[in-house]
Chain A
């Protein structure tokens, strides 16, 4: 079974971003970038499937600027076999990402596509569902468990009121949640080895898909900050304040 994993370069999860004062975007100057945490879990799952003998090849793809190669190298160091970069400096909306990935699915014919459930920058949570629709495949979103059968996969989804188990016909598309696995750290030898693995660089614009944004960003603003509160000295004082001052209990 061939697996395709899509990964995204995003602002590191530990960074609190700053909005530019002219309200046109986020200050990206010298901002630490990283592999989107959910994408890392997706890569780890694909590699585990290869290690267990369920998968024969793991291909990682990223759509973004030239520097996304760094994130592809990370995925290769974790154990992916080869990488594809669809290079573009445009901001690509989820629907366009899904269309580009659908083209790759057509070329590569992976039985399983694994994505993170959302990227922690735009917080959309859409691409896997859109890709599943465009390729006519079943979708398993927000999964915390995955097992492969001959012609199907069995998944557990994290839903608002608990867990849901589904069986999906292969080929399929899944998006991963946090509890699916704990990604490994790449060892030094595998980081060295990853440098020799191939990255196939292509222009995202070469696929004949209109990638221009359809959602206009009028402005990006900072949400109202909470005013700093007060420290209380005891539980009794806290209960008193909640009753008499805040009047919430």
Chain B
């Protein structure tokens, strides 16, 4: 077995989702390689070289990979693919953007959001918003999959240095062009990796009222999430959405405030260890998955909660 993991990073730091993806690849067995693409990424390379159990660290450091767009990154991967039995990427917007494009170039199918590895050819993945689990098997020269990071622990770092191999393949991209990005600035932990998540729904009533949640989150060192209803209503940014088509989280503690608990939202958080629901409507479906439910007006209970923490 020879798995390759495609790393994700924000120019300076390696993303936590990559560490979970490496764990998944190590379960396949054999020597795991890691590919990092970008420009001026030496600090990411330094971090990645100390990931435990990485055999080779492939580095494509060139201006053409600066924006990590799928059109040319997929071509670079195409030249590497024949060396590998498996290619994994995190099931992030980056991984989901890139891996299917590579799959089509290779003429192989791709598995999305695997949550369990049974053997090198057999995997489990959720379908129907997590209301069913499919155990799937495939025989392909290279097996491509995106990995749900909440289903695998992060691989630790160590003192050993992986072998670094610099790739000098240049694949220009004349199809798409990066214009700008508008990234969320927050001092709070990242939603996907936070130990505690506090989420608000339509019941929050307005974007301003999210400050009540933020105050509680700051006391707990928690990340702040939102239901689709709250994002659609403009109360919260799209990158805060937890659910089937947003982010999947599985923290130690998930506090759902003013969230009714639609199937699509539950898909994004029901693997949390402890779930708390605060809602005025005692019949809200969120209470069916909550370990602790509090039927109350959130405008009274949130300030109280902030005080008691």
Q: Which residues of A contact B (CB under 8 A)?
A: 11, 13-14, 16-17, 19, 26, 38, 93-95, 98, 117-118, 120-134, 137-142, 144, 154, 157-169, 172, 177-179, 214-223, 226, 228-236, 238-239, 241-242, 246, 248-249
Contact = CB atoms under 8 A, between A and B. Distances in A.
18 contacts: A93-B109, A122-B127, A124-B110, A129-B98, A133-B105, A134-B104, A161-B10, A161-B239, A162-B184, A165-B178, A169-B175, A218-B122, A219-B134, A220-B134, A229-B290, A231-B287, A238-B276, A242-B274
B155 interface: no
Contacts of B101: 129-130, 132-133, 139
A129 to B, nearest CB: 4
Contacts of A179: 231-232, 238
Contact of B181 (A129, A164, A214): A164
Contact of B293 (A123, A159, A232): A232
Contacts of B215: none
Contacts of B290: 229
A37 B232 CA distance: 14
Interface string B250-290: 00110000000001100000100111100000000001111
A118 B245 contact: yes
Interface of B: 10, 69-71, 74, 92-94, 96-105, 107-113, 122, 126-138, 140, 174-184, 192, 196, 220, 228, 231-232, 237-239, 244-245, 247, 252-253, 263-264, 270, 273-276, 287-296, 301, 304-305, 308-309
Contacts of A93: 109
Give chain B's interface secondary structure class.
mixed
B156 to A, nearest CB: 23
A8 to B, nearest CB: 14
Contacts of B131: 16-17, 19, 222-223
A99 B140 CA distance: 18
A178 to B, nearest CB: 7
A211 to B, nearest CB: 12
Contact of A160 (B70, B92, B140, B178): B92
Given A93-B109, A178-B232, A228-B288, A125 B239 contact: no
B135 A157 contact: no
Contacts of A159: 93-94, 181, 239
B104 A167 contact: no
A163 B174 contact: no
A120 B129 contact: yes
A122 to B, nearest CB: 6
Nearest to B184: A162
